[in-house]
Amino acid sequence: MKVRAAIMLKTGVLDPQGEAIRHALGTLGFVGVEGVRQGKIIEIDLAETDAKKAEAEVQRMCEALLANTVIESYEVELP
């Protein structure tokens, strides 16, 4: 089963990469872009076939390694 973890900086945490992207879009002529937040998507293939168990396992992975929960939030996405 494929499971995705979408990881983003929490609201209020400075996002220098997002700001650099916003600025670059402006220099390329894209007007009206007021903000950009940059994050990461991690796709994991699990042998688990039970959706609830797979979701719980990826949540534990995020808490243990994939996300810095002090400054990042995450969302587990099932197909």
pLDDT (average), residues 30-59: 97
- Number of H helices and number of E strands within the chain? 2, 3
Q: Which CATH number fits domain 2-77: 3.40.190.10, 3.30.70.270, 3.10.450.50, 3.30.1280.10?
A: 3.30.1280.10
pLDDT of residue 34: 96
Quickly state the pLDDT bin for 79 (edges 50, 70, 90).
confident
State the virtual CA torsion across 6, 10, 38, 61 in degrees, nearest 10: -30
CB count in 10 Å sphere of residue 31 = 6
Q: What letter would DSSP give residue 77?
A: E
Domain definitions of the chain by residue range: 2-77
Q: What is the pTM of this model?
A: 0.87
Read off the pLDDT of residues 6-35 as tens digits, 9 standing for 90 and up: 999 999 999 999 999 999 999 999 999 999
